């Protein structure tokens, strides 16, 4: 087995992992491992942009109010304040590093960002690079990280964390190309492993989004919070998938005037919210779900045909070209759309500096739960939160690095590699269908109870398979099943409807009993 030593280990190559690597490279040796090629992450598919109070009619205080409102009583006020206040400076830093955000000069000759608007925002505050913002940010940060000689190992899968006496000293990883385990000893470890959308049958997330960081940290004793709050993006392209991922039609499309209609051309969002098509995405997803069930139809339409065709092509070139490749000219035909699992508001519980319940283990980005989003994420706040918490983790890590105390002998059972098991594919299919049918947009007590029982059975099945040996497919399946169980169990505990969690047996919000986080540890699940 290869043994590597580093000051800082980063797992994940989205905006959180890359920004932290860029910052930490000046303070020690940094090793970043990533599951796929360095550009593959949820950040890469963030079309809309990054929210920041940079408009002349905007302020961090107004952004704060919008975020708190969307969070439905669970967004942590101190965290939201930190992110909204620190965000604008960091967005300017990204711009000065070379991210080609769209800009213009006002009448006084001052540089201004071209700002988009999305659901739930009371101001135009979405800084963007047309409709491929995430890709543009990653491209720039990867270049900067490589310039600082950060070592990047691609196609390297996190298999376990080295934890002794509730302190993390690194990790075990599996090199997919060389088919061998690597023991990485580090003073600090940051998990930036992204989301878990692949737990669901329909998702906008890439195939790598299997909840690895959340599941592994959970197994090692970290606290996990608010897993019931899954954001279903209301508008993914119906009937077409790219690499097992539903193609996302950005919320910015509705921000620029796109209108949701039923198949027969009737508008419906005005029945559900005063903001109509610009309502927060949980409201829009729930409204679409209700219309589909009521009308027994498979999709609704997102209509841009009334907008200026050239403006649509210029603002959304990636969406235009992708849909055109599928035979849909969005300037002439409405887009068939359906909700899909998109973002997890919960994750590994962290404090205001990205620290977890395990010493020297930090987390940032979608894999973490900072309290920024509460019960519902405001559009385009995710890249902002990732950036701010990567920055704050860096500020804390500079201090933590001064205390280098790695034990001489670190022992952990290393699994043996084995061939693919045909049962794994079947287990994952069962998981995805179960989560979509029973722990989806609309939930009920009976289904949630049943789902928890079935997920426990899946958990036992996967652990038995892993006893014979491991491979990436079986480890991913284990991580997805654990995340599914955390989602379902958390949802079963919340006997109310709030934000992204809607239970038809408890349709009202209950602030007396449930205006609090749902926090789980392995003792709650492995009873």
pLDDT score of 512? 98
pLDDT band at 244; cut points 50, 70, 90: confident
Q: Is CATH 1.20.58.100 correct for 422-525?
A: yes
Tell me how far apart the terminal alpha carbons of the chain are, to the nearest angstrom: 34
- Residues 476-497, mean pLDDT to the nearest whole number: 98
> Is residue 224 helix, strand or coil?
strand
Q: How far apart are CA 76 and CA 313, in angstroms?
A: 39
Q: How far apart are CA 464 and CA 45, in angstroms?
A: 35
Q: How far apart are CA 520 and CA 252, in angstroms?
A: 35
- Residues 189-218, mean pLDDT to the nearest whole number: 95
State how far the alpha carbon of 491 is from the alpha carbons of 445, 453, 510, in Å: 9, 13, 14
Q: Where are the domains of the chain?
A: 2-154+345-400, 235-339, 422-525
User: What is the set of active-site residues?
Assistant: 281
pLDDT score of 243? 80
pLDDT band at 241; cut points 50, 70, 90: confident
pLDDT by residue (tens digit) across 377-434?
998 899 999 999 999 999 999 999 988 777 667 666 667 888 777 899 999 999 999 9
- Kindly report the pTM of this predicted structure: 0.91
pLDDT score of 47? 55
pLDDT score of 120? 83
Sole residue written with tokens 């969307």: 70
Q: Give 503: exposed, middle or buried? Use CB within 10 Å, 0-12, 13-18, 19+.
A: buried
For the segment(s) 2-154+345-400, the CATH number from 3.30.390.10, 3.50.50.60, 3.90.950.10, 3.20.20.70 is 3.50.50.60
Q: What angle do CA 97, 347, 337 make, to 5 degrees?
A: 75
Element holding 428 (H helix, E strand): helix 422-438
- Residues 251-260, mean pLDDT to the nearest whole number: 91
Helices (H), 346-471: 381-400, 422-438, 445-467
> Is residue 293 helix, strand or coil?
helix
3-class secondary structure for 163-205? EECCEEEEEEEEECCCCEEEEEEEEEEEECCCCCHHHCCCECC
Q: What crossing angle do the helices spanning 77-97 and 133-147 adopt, rounded to 10°?
A: 70
Q: Is CATH 3.90.700.10 correct for 235-339?
A: yes
233 phi/psi in degrees, rounded to 5: -70, 130
pLDDT by residue (tens digit) across 339-366?
999 999 999 999 999 999 999 999 999 9
pLDDT at 48 over 70: no
State how far the alpha carbon of 226 is from the alpha carbons of 272, 341, 441, 458, 481, in Å: 26, 16, 16, 22, 17
pLDDT at 46 over 60: no
**Residue predicted with more confidence, 95 or 281:** 95
């Amino acid at each position: 087995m290869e043994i590597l030593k580093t000051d800082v280990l980063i797992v994940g190559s989205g905006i959180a992992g890359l920004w932290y690597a860029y910052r930490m490279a000046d303070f020690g040796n940094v090793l970043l491992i990533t599951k796929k090629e360095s550009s593959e992450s949820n950040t890469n598919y963030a079309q809309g942009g990054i929210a920041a109070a940079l408009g002349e009619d905007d302020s961090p205080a107004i952004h704060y109010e919008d975020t708190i409102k969307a969070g439905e009583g669970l967004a942590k006020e101190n965290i939201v304040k930190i992110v909204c206040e620190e965000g604008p400076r960091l967005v300017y830093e990204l711009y000065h590093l070379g991210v080609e955000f769209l800009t213009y000069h006002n009448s006084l000759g001052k540089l201004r960002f071209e700002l988009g608007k999305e659901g739930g925002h009371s101001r135009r505050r979405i800084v963007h690079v047309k409709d491929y913002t995430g890709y543009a940010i990653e491209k720039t940060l990867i270049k900067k990280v490589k310039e600082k000689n950060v070592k990047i190992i691609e196609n390297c899968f996190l298999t376990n964390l080295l934890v002794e006496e509730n302190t993390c000293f690194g990790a075990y990883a599996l090199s997919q190309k060389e088919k061998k385990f690597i023991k990485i000893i580090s003073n600090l470890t940051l998990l930036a492993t992204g989301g878990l959308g692949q737990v669901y049958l329909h998702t906008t997330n890439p195939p790598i989004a299997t909840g690895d960081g959340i599941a592994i940290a959970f197994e090692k004793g970290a606290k996990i919070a608010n897993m019931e709050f899954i954001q279903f993006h209301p508008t993914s392209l119906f009937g077409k998938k790219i690499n097992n991922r539903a193609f996302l039609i950005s919320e910015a499309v509705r921000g620029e005037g796109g209108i949701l209609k039923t198949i027969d051309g009737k508008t419906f969002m005005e029945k559900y919210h005063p903001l109509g098509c610009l309502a927060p995405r949980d409201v829009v997803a729930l409204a679409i779900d209700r219309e589909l069930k009521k009308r027994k139809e498979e999709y609704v339409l997102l209509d841009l045909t009334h907008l200026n065709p050239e403006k649509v092509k210029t603002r959304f070139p990636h969406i235009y070209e992708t849909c055109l490749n599928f035979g849909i000219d969005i300037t002439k035909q409405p887009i068939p759309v359906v909700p899909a699992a998109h973002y997890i508001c919960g994750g590994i519980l962290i404090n205001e500096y990205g620290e977890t319940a395990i010493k020297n283990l930090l987390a940032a980005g979608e894999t973490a739960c900072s309290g920024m989003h509460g019960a519902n994420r405001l559009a385009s706040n995710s890249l902002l939160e990732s950036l701010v918490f990567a920055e704050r983790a860096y500020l804390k890590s500079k201090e933590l690095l001064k205390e280098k105390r790695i034990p001489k002998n670190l022992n952990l059972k290393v699994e043996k590699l084995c061939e693919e098991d045909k049962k794994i594919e079947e287990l994952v299919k069962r998981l995805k269908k179960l989560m979509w049918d029973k722990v989806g947009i609309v939930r009920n007590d009976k289904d949630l109870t049943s789902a928890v029982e079935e997920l426990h059975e899946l958990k036992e099945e996967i652990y038995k398979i892993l006893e014979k040996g491991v491979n990436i497919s079986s480890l991913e399946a284990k991580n997805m099943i654990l995340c599914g169980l955390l989602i379902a169990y958390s949802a079963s505990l919340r006997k109310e409807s709030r934000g992204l969690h809607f239970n038809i047996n408890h349709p009202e919000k209950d602030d007396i009993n449930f205006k609090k986080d749902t926090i789980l540890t392995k003792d709650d699940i492995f009873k």
